[in-house]
Amino acid sequence: MARLSVNINKVATLRNARGGNNPNVLQVAQDCERFGAQGITVHPRPDGRHIRYADVLAIAPLVTTEFNIEGYPSPEFVELVLRVHPQQVTLVPDPPEAITSNAGWDTITHKQRLRQIIGTFASNGIRTSIFVEANADLVKHAADTGAHRVELYTEPYAAGYAANREQAIAPFVEAARMAQRVGLGLNAGHDLSLQNLRYFAQQVPNLAEVSIGHALICDALYYGLENTIQMYRQQLA
């Protein structure tokens, strides 16, 4: 059964809208674990518009499950990861001004750069995942970087789910099978929701972990955070 990592960025966005410390992202991280989350994901950006670098440092010692830090591998980000030493770092190719991650790495063009960065993390005992699109060839080349896992960018699946879920899932199944062939673990994330998560988890082989933030926090406004986390866990059962 795939593990659920809750991305708490949107909680920090709400806090930052008014300043102060309400909601308290440290408490939310702990509550998510208490309510059944099997990991906590954060994605700090240089402009600090949601999770800030200071938040990452404060959350790290509180997480008792798995701490996953996502981000663009700038020198500052690499330094932060090495300081925190999370269980997992997920490398994304989006520039600092991007609203959200909306594309995966070209693992052919950027192979050498990724290899160098991942080598640094690996030598420090940190598992690395690369954010990639559902393209079997790019997944195949991801294995050459030394990464431990790939995270499939699932927005295209979510966008096509209602119209034709079989067609939408097909490239993800192919990419997952390639990951298995080349020895990569498999994560997934972006726009997964209560509506489309169960089918994705049922169809995609060897899925280790999903990272879900926006949809889960939105659902929590209606169902409550504890109930929502359990509902997402049930979709993965």
Share of the chain above pLDDT 70, in %: 97
- Domains identified in the chain, total number: 1
DSSP conformation letters of 37-49 = -SEEEE---TT-S
For residues 129 and 91, what is the distance between their CA atoms, to the nearest angstrom? 6
Which of helix, strand or coil describes residue 10?
A: helix
For residues 211 and 197, what is the distance between their CA atoms, to the nearest angstrom? 11
> From the CA atom positions of the chain, what is the Rg in Å?
17
In b/e form, how buried is each residue of 60-85, taking b as 16+ CB within 10 angstroms? Answer: beebebbbbbbbbbeeebbebbeebe
pLDDT, tens digit, 9 for 90 and up, residues 130-175? 999 999 999 999 999 999 999 999 999 999 999 999 999 999 999 9
- Of the residues 50, 141, 148, 190, only one is catalytic, namely 190
214 is a catalytic site residue: no
Amino acid at 1: M
70 is a catalytic site residue: yes
Instruction: Identify the CA nearest to 184 among candidates 117, 124, 131.
Output: 131
The pLDDT of residue 50: 95
As a whole number, mean pLDDT of residues 117-122 equals 97
Which of helix, strand or coil describes residue 212?
A: strand
Range of the domain at 187: 3-235
For residues 107 and 130, what is the distance between their CA atoms, to the nearest angstrom? 9
For residues 187 and 169, what is the distance between their CA atoms, to the nearest angstrom? 15
Confirm whether pTM is higher than 0.85: yes
Q: Write the CATH number for 71.
A: 3.20.20.70
- Of the residues 33, 43, 66, 148, only one is catalytic, namely 43
pLDDT, tens digit, 9 for 90 and up, residues 12-48? 999 999 999 999 999 999 999 999 999 999 999 988 8
Split at pLDDT 50, 70, 90, the class of 94 is: confident
190 is a catalytic site residue: yes
- Of the residues 33, 66, 70, 133, only one is catalytic, namely 70
pLDDT, tens digit, 9 for 90 and up, residues 67-91? 999 999 999 999 999 999 999 999 9
For residues 184 and 7, what is the distance between their CA atoms, to the nearest angstrom? 22
